[in-house]
Amino acid sequence: YTKGKTYKLTILHTNDHHGRFWSNRDGEVGLAARATLIKQLREEAKTNGASVLLLDAGDVNTGVPQSDMLDAEPDFKGMNAIGYDVMAVGNHEFDKTLKTIYQQRKWAGFPFVSANIYDKWTKKRVFPSHVTKKLGDLKVTIFGLTTEDTPLKSNPKNTADLKFTKSVEEAKTLVPTLRPNADVLIALTHVGHYPDEKHGADAPGDVTLARQVKGIDLIVGGHTQKPLFEPDIQNGTIIVQAYEWGKYVGKVDLEILDGKVTLKSYKLIPVNLKDTAEKIKPDEKVEALLRPYKERGDKTLLVQIGNADSEYIGRRDVVRFQETNLGNLVARAYREKFKADIGLTNSGGIRDSIYPGKITIETVGMVLPFGGEVVSTEMTGKEIKEFFEHVIFKLTPGSGSFAQTNNVDIVADKKTSKIKSFKVGGVDLDESKKYLMALPEFIAAGGDKYPAVKFRKFGYVDADLLKEFIASQKEMKSSDFAPRGSIKIE
Ligand code: ATP
Ligand code: ZN
């Protein structure tokens, strides 16, 4: 930089886009409206003599069937059209294989950064740790971090050859090497913002990073999907996050003078949210680019397969805490495909409710978006009992690991952490007999801290099994799936 010169820098940012390339039913969000807003903000910045960088903090993948079925091609091509500069790799990027992520990077045309993802075999980083942007004679370095929980929180198959190191430790060694060459140092992270470091059972996030690693000017984060309407300033580092789904674009205005970075203003700007007065006209070019993808998706997805007489509950504040009709339905669909004795799923795999009315393929894709396989495992009654004792007493309460089951009646003893009574199909479990259980590969392989088991694969995809099951029912009644206290803890 030049001594005595004041530089203006505007950082625009989004995170946790999760497949929302098109606007929703209420006309909210979408890349076309985001494009118009960003164009406008760029013009404003230009008038004010500010340079602009546009960043995304990861999790572009997963959440909308029209995007999921196309490996988020419309999302990345749309982001390319908007002119993103850099993206951090999020845990949901690994809902796809590494090969698909490389393909997505081609569609995107901008770099994906992450300093803490290594190839297990070559020991090399899989993505560049950072990029440096030269804005005139101002050097801005942006490095990436990804939550080290990723192998536990995504399909183990896709991360089997990768090692995720601790993000804060990685930053401790990286920042001192980047800092001397950067006028502005930005961490673009997908590790989450946990106020006052209260990250519970999750890996440490942005606040820990800021407190433990000196020298980062700005942390642009994601993952926890909470809006930070005010920046959180920790240890002199500014932390921001823009909620989720492209609901807001974050705007950070910085001034840099003689190596000192000052926050001038910060704002989250809504993208056509229902209760905001100002409406943004979607950019015609971006809309025209994306429309064919949307129409292609709708054509295959808006096909009716059944009917819901009431809500099948998949809302996370319910399904991660108690047995629900949707949990029972999903576990039953898995069990029946394998003609297994027991059906099981982690509730975190269920991402939406089925609402009363038409059930379409799109509905099923909203409920089960990961496209994971369902597998079978054979265990003796004794092993099954031990497995469920672990599931009931050792997993994190209220998390995605909470079990939804089919065809079991279990009574467990809180005091001894043992199972008192276990029935399969209404009959007492025989400890020496073999039982077949159908379950997602995700947990069979040890995801969500389940005990890893030996399993067999047949190429059955979760959403396909649910679709098949619903389509095979003449008249599906939610009362047939009502919670019945399958697992009682006394
Ligand atoms: P974010 O979108 O911020 O990354 P997240 O999905 O990592 O969020 P949660 O929404 O809390 O975090 O969901 C985590 C839960 O999702 C896990 O505990 C697990 O139950 C479930 N989950 C994640 N990936 C998969 C997968 N590939 N297959 C099945 N379940 C999964
Ligand atoms: Zn995430």
Q: What is the pLDDT of residues 114-147, one digit of tens each?
A: 999 999 999 999 999 999 999 999 999 999 999 9
pTM of the model: 0.93
Give CA–CA dist 9/3, Å, rounded.
Answer: 16
Q: Residue 276 has what pLDDT?
A: 86
The whole-number average pLDDT for the span 352-356 is 97
Query: 16 an active-site residue?
Result: yes
What tokens appear for 301 in the block?
């997805």
Average pLDDT, the chain: 97
Cβ-contact 115, 209 below 8 angstroms: no
CA-nearest residue, atom 31 of ligand 1 = 349
Q: In a mutational test of the pocket of ligand 1, which residue from 56, 95, 153 has the highest number of ligand atoms less than 8 Å from its CB?
A: 153
Ligand closest to 94 (CA) is 1
Question: Is the confidence at residue 157, as pLDDT, over 90?
Answer: no
Asked if residue 225 has its Cβ within 6 Å of ligand 1, the reply is yes
Give CA–CA dist 23/85, Å, rounded.
Answer: 23
Q: Annotated catalytic residue: which of 13, 18, 20, 332?
A: 18
| Beta-strand relationship, 434-440 and 427-428 | unpaired
Question: Is the confidence at residue 203, as pLDDT, over 90?
Answer: yes
pLDDT band for position 153 (cuts 50, 70, 90): confident
Asked if residue 150 has its Cβ within 6 Å of ligand 1, the reply is no
E strand segments, 84-174: 86-88, 112-113, 117-119, 130-135, 138-146, 162-164
CA-nearest residue, atom 12 of ligand 1 = 153
Could you tell me what percent of the chain has a pLDDT over 90?
A: 97
Query: 404 an active-site residue?
Result: no
Asked if residue 205 has its Cβ within 6 Å of ligand 1, the reply is no
Q: Annotated catalytic residue: which of 17, 20, 92, 199?
A: 92
What tokens appear for 430 in the block?
């025989």
Asked if residue 149 has its Cβ within 6 Å of ligand 1, the reply is no
pLDDT band for position 156 (cuts 50, 70, 90): confident
**pLDDT digit string, tens, across residues 309-335:** 999 999 999 999 999 999 999 999 999
What tokens appear for 234 in the block?
């920790």
The whole-number average pLDDT for the span 267-294 is 96
Ligand 1, atom nearest to 62 Cα: 2
In this prediction the ipTM stands at: 0.97
E strand segments, 313-448: 342-346, 357-360, 373-380, 403-406, 408-413, 418-424, 427-428, 434-440
Give CA–CA dist 289/298, Å, rounded.
Answer: 16
